[in-house]
A = this chain, B = another copy of it.
Amino acid sequence: MSKNRIWTAALVIIGDEILSGRTQDKNIAQIATWLNVQGIRLAEVRVVADDMNAIAEAVNLLRARNDYLFTTGGIGPTHDDITVDAIAAAIGVDVVVHPEARATLERYYESKGGINEGRLRMARVPEGGDLIPNRMSGAPGIKVENIFIMAGVPHITAGMLDALTGTLEGGAPLLSQQIGCWIAESEVAVLLRETEKAHEGCQIGSYPFFREGTVGANFVVRSTEQDRLEACIAALKTGLKELGHDVTDGGI
């Protein structure tokens, strides 16, 4: 497969706790950053309620138009954990107890009161699913077709991502470089637009901030090719300096 092909993933975050504002999501940034290193671009994200239809709708659409689909949340032991059932329904397979997951959970809970109905829920997978190791707690993640079913708790998800590192086919990683200026981005909007236009294969993002009583902006150039990235950053620095602005490498 060509290095020029762009590999994409989508993410479905499952959880009333995110939609109610109770919990601040941390998985978007964590998974996006990890995907970049694998050479896969996070193309879209949806946050849906703990609802079978909402999950199935998002899963089926997004897995069809992306190489990979990740989900987070809803794989615990309680009644509101319906992700496995919803994904099995979405792809039209049964839910089965995975023998290896069951054995892992039985071992994990041996000294913690033993297995029970709720705990056994975490051994259920859509038929044909493989396990993603979870070294933080007993319950594994699941890979089924092009879907990766991950935990909602960020540090457990981190462990599962670690287990997947290097196992997904991707393209050239998206590289980025940042510079910063103590200026209002609105002063240099034309320069940004013209510089991006002159550098094919590069995108320039502009991220304003307000700190220490003064406005500033960081400019991020992204490209899959190091030489193009460097040429674009160099042109942008020259342009900013010609307009009389100091530039901080790496951003402010």
Contacts and interface: CB of A to CB of B under 8 A. Distances in A.
Contacts of A155: 210
Given A25-B29, A47-B44, A205-B80, A118 B186 contact: yes
A237 interface: no
B33 A43 contact: no
A118 to B, nearest CB: 3
A176 to B, nearest CB: 7
A124 interface: no
A30 to B, nearest CB: 7
B45 A49 contact: no
Contacts of A80: 203-206
B19 A44 contact: yes
A38 to B, nearest CB: 12
A222 to B, nearest CB: 7
A70 to B, nearest CB: 13
A76 B32 contact: no
Nearest to A153: B208
B189 A222 contact: no
Contacts of A2: none
A79 B191 CA distance: 10
Interface stretch (A109-117, A126-134, A157-165, A227-235): A109-117
A24 B26 contact: yes
A117 B22 CA distance: 41
Given A78-B189, A186-B77, A16 B49 contact: no
Given A77-B185, A79-B196, A192-B78, A32 B20 contact: yes
Interface string A31-48: 111011000011111111
Interface string A102-123: 0000000100110011110110
Nearest to A79: B193
Contact of A190 (B24, B118, B192): B118
Contact of A187 (B17, B45, B118, B122): B118
Interface string A168-212: 000000101000000011111110110010000001111111100
Given A113-B187, A192-B79, A33 B46 contact: no
Interface of A: 13, 16-26, 28-33, 35-36, 41-49, 54, 76-80, 109, 112-113, 116-119, 121-122, 136-137, 153, 155, 174, 176, 184-190, 192-193, 196, 203-210, 220, 222
